[in-house]
């Protein structure tokens, strides 16, 4: 039997007055794992996932103990950087970058220097995405380039960023569209001297729009079988329920789109806003609900 365990302090908000961690919103969660350590204490647990809550609001880094996935462009808007109270990962913003500009407008040197500064000043950065080139049709259309060129440039980004700032934990990212194209990309990394099966974690991108597609599972299963410890970008319940046995971590901010589309006001929210699409309390509740659904045993 396999289960998914929330490695964070399941849904805790930081009390801004006392700075103490308030008890979890999750009444059933009595086990508080060490977020820096793989939790093997939960019963019947042989599959672990860490789930980063995607947010447009980097200020949440000082307000919660839930792991966050924060966008580089958003964080740059802060003159007074938050000191993080939680583990977080950096999204390079590649999806929007390629869609808007058809290329990266930030040089590798500028990106590496800034991420190094963010890691130091914000603290608790677990890893940073490289300047990858997504291979979804919209991204390819925007750049006018092929999957192969996007893949080559993604390998080149890892090479450059690690050369410039080897002290930053850069996440290698695989891009592709068909399962075989992701394996081809794995081969490209190998040819360039990167043995991804030896990395602590490897990102897999361009999956978010295909959460129900057979290609999602075929891709992740093949990469898992190749020995990779996978972070699958952008999976929510539809993808996670199928993919969880193959991945180590994921992230999503679909909670915000869902709240906006359905005009959700969470029943426990006492804020003045009418819709909780930028609401930390709702986001944490959404994440907790998602993880509780995934705690059901896997169908074997």
Inter-residue contact 86 to 103 (CB < 8 Å): no
Which of 25, 148, 217, 269 touches Zn ion by CB under 5 A?
Answer: 269
For the bound state, the minimum distance from the C-beta of residue 57 to Zn ion, rounded and expressed in Å, comes to 12
For the bound state, the minimum distance from the C-beta of residue 280 to Zn ion, rounded and expressed in Å, comes to 8
For the bound state, the minimum distance from the C-beta of residue 270 to Zn ion, rounded and expressed in Å, comes to 8
Residue 186 tokens, joined: 């794995």
Which of 110, 121, 197, 271 touches Zn ion by CB under 5 A?
Answer: 271
What span, in angstroms and rounded, lies between the C-alpha atoms of 292 and 287? 9
For the bound state, the minimum distance from the C-beta of residue 238 to Zn ion, rounded and expressed in Å, comes to 24
Asked if residue 259 binds Zn ion (CB under 5 A), the reply is: no
For the bound state, the minimum distance from the C-beta of residue 19 to Zn ion, rounded and expressed in Å, comes to 22
The closest alpha carbon to 9, from 290, 296, 284, belongs to 284
Side-chain half-sphere exposure of 120, counting CA atoms within 13 A: 8
Provide the residue count of the chain.
300
> Residue 201 or residue 259: which is nearer to Zn ion going by CB?
259
Side-chain half-sphere exposure of 19, counting CA atoms within 13 A: 4
For the bound state, the minimum distance from the C-beta of residue 258 to Zn ion, rounded and expressed in Å, comes to 13
Task: Select the span of 95-103, 151-159, 223-231, 278-286 touching Zn ion (CB under 5 A).
Answer: 278-286
Long-range pairs for 31-36 at CB < 8 Å and ≥24 separation?
A: 33/5, 33/6, 33/7, 33/8, 35/7, 35/8, 35/9, 35/65, 35/67, 35/86, 35/87, 36/87
> Residue 117 or residue 260: which is nearer to Zn ion going by CB?
260
> Residue 38 or residue 273: which is nearer to Zn ion going by CB?
273
The DSSP output letter for 62 is: G
Which of 276, 284, 285, 294 touches Zn ion by CB under 5 A?
Answer: 276
For the bound state, the minimum distance from the C-beta of residue 54 to Zn ion, rounded and expressed in Å, comes to 17
What span, in angstroms and rounded, lies between the C-alpha atoms of 149 and 94? 15
What span, in angstroms and rounded, lies between the C-alpha atoms of 279 and 33? 25
Which of 279, 284, 285, 294 touches Zn ion by CB under 5 A?
Answer: 279
> Residue 202 or residue 276: which is nearer to Zn ion going by CB?
276
The position carrying tokens 């569209």 is 177
Task: Select the span of 52-60, 119-127, 152-160, 266-274 touching Zn ion (CB under 5 A).
Answer: 266-274
By CB under 5 A, the residues from 91 to 150 that bind Zn ion are: none
* Interacting residue ranges for Zn ion, rule: CB under 5 A: 269, 271, 276, 279, 282
């Amino acid at each position: 039997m396999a289960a998914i365990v929330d490695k964070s302090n399941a849904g805790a908000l930081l009390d801004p007055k006392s700075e103490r961690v308030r008890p979890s919103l999750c009444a059933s969660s009595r086990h508080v794992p060490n977020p820096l350590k793989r939790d093997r204490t939960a019963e019947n647990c042989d599959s672990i996932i860490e789930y980063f809550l995607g947010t447009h609001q980097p200020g949440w880094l000082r307000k919660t103990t839930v792991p966050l996935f924060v966008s580089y462009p958003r964080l740059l808007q802060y003159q007074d950087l938050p000191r993080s109270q939680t583990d977080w990962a950096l999204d390079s913003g590649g999806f929007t970058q390629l869609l808007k500009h058809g290329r990266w407008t930030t040089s590798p040197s500028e990106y590496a220097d800034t991420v190094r500064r963010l890691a130091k000043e914000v603290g608790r950065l677990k890893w940073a995405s490289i300047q990858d080139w997504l291979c979804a049709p919209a991204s390819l259309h925007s750049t006018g380039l092929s999957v192969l060129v996007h893949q080559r440039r993604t390998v080149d980004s890892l090479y450059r960023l690690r050369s410039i700032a080897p002290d930053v934990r850069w996440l290698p990212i695989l891009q592709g569209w068909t399962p075989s194209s992701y394996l081809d990309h794995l081969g490209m990394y190998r040819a360039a001297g990167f043995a991804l099966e030896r990395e602590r974690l490897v990102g897999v991108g361009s999956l978010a729009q295909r959460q129900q597609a057979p290609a999602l599972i075929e891709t992740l299963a093949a990469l898992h079988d190749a020995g990779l410890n996978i972070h699958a970008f952008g999976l929510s319940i539809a993808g996670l329920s199928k993919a969880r046995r193959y991945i180590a971590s994921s992230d999503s901010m679909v909670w915000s789109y869902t709240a906006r589309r359905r005009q959700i006001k969470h029943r426990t929210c006492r804020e003045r806003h009418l819709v909780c699409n930028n609401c930390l309390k709702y986001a944490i509740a959404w994440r907790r609900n998602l993880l509780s659904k995934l705690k059901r045993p896997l169908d074997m």
